[in-house]
Amino acid sequence: MNRNSLWRSVAAVLVIALLLTPAGYADRKHGDVEKIGNRDINGRIAGIFPNFVSLEKEIQIGAQYAEMFEQTARLIEDPVITEYVDRVGQNIVKHSDAKVPFVIKVVDTDEVNAFALPGGYFYVNKGLILEAENESELAGVMAHEIAHVTARHATERMTKSQLMQFGALPLLFVGGYWTQMAMQNGLGMGMSLAVLGITRKSEAEADQLGTQYAWNTGYDPNGFITFFEKLQAKEKNKPGTFTSFMRTHPSLEDRIEKVQQEMAALPAKDEFLVTTSEFDRVKGRLIQIDNKQMVAGSGAASGGASRPTLKRKTNTDRTESDKPTLKKDGTPTNRPTLKRESDPDPEEKQDPGKEN
């Protein structure tokens, strides 16, 4: 082996080592909470490599996956529910490190979960709203998913996959058993996980950032913990109750401990928002709609007033404004504008009301 080949092999091994080295919590990454909104929290991969996916390309990827998801998903289109969930989410986005605007929709499924695609396409399941006891619990989970997008976890994984491939050829010739196993594991990542950005490290980072965003928005960050503890207790009493949530998120014990650590490090505030009467009304409205779906001939069909309805979105009944259209460069043309708290907007609605 000549000297150039040796150096290339050494460089490839270093790339793999950097990508597979876990980051510890002791140094408390992202501790500069006073700069939320002006931080570049995902500027480098493993502290060295740039993210290969531009924000414009990330939005395009998200738009494509959102289009595929909505072809089969059943969305809730009741305006009271969708406006409320969108407003809660957009308020958190405004107090986060987001660099892309968000499109937030509610999915008509009883699964207790939520997920965010690259580029700000965010879906909240009906089951999550019904399971939450108050607005701070709902906001905590939503802040966690928003954090996945702000930290660009999906495109971070895509970049890591490309870097692993760049280092693959030399390792095929000089790498030992463990090196090749590490390489194969890195290259064998499922696309679904890559799109959602789900790894233990990314979940821990989203927990930390989500806690910060809920705190910065004015919500009680304890809502995040109480929601976890409730799921944990119910899952122990009846295993499999929250299969969907457990499948897409790691175990709760360690997460609760780390969120508690982050809360202890945050600056104290005189008061936090726990819930609002609007949350109770929206949750009650969802329950009412569910009940009416199980009763034949309810609503307008029985002579009553026009009732909120659930409608399955398909390619044929979606308006052109609903579809994520793309420019020649792949950037959607009908995206909302991301606004910060300082942006002037005389028509903007105020934050949620006082604590109950």
pTM of the model: 0.68
Q: Which residues of the chain carry a pLDDT beneath 70?
A: 1-27, 43-47, 161-199, 235, 239-251, 294-337, 339-356
pLDDT at residue 181, rounded to an integer: 38
pLDDT at residue 250, rounded to an integer: 55
Instruction: Please report, for the chain, the start and end positions of each structural domain, with discontinuous segments joined by +.
Output: 8-21+31-295
Of the candidates 87, 41, 39, 81, the residue with the CA atom closest to the CA atom of residue 217? 87
- Long-range contacts from 246-255, C-beta under 8 angstroms, 24+ separation: 248/113, 248/115, 248/196, 248/198, 249/198, 249/203, 250/200, 250/203, 252/228, 255/203, 255/204, 255/207, 255/228
- Say which residue the tokens 């979940």 belong to: 203
pLDDT tens-digit series, residues 103-123: 999 999 998 889 999 999 999
Tell me if 216 sits within 8 A of 95, measured CB to CB.
Answer: yes
Query: What is the rounded distance in angstroms from the CA atom of residue 218 to the CA atom of residue 204?
Result: 21
pLDDT tens-digit series, residues 213-259: 999 999 999 998 999 888 878 767 776 655 555 554 556 788 888 99
DSSP assignment of 77-132: --HHHHHHHHHHHHHHHHTTT--S--EEEEE---SS-EEEETTTEEEEEHHHHHH-
pLDDT at residue 312, rounded to an integer: 47
Catalytic annotation, residues: 145, 207
pLDDT at residue 230, rounded to an integer: 84
Chain-wide mean pLDDT for the chain?
A: 74
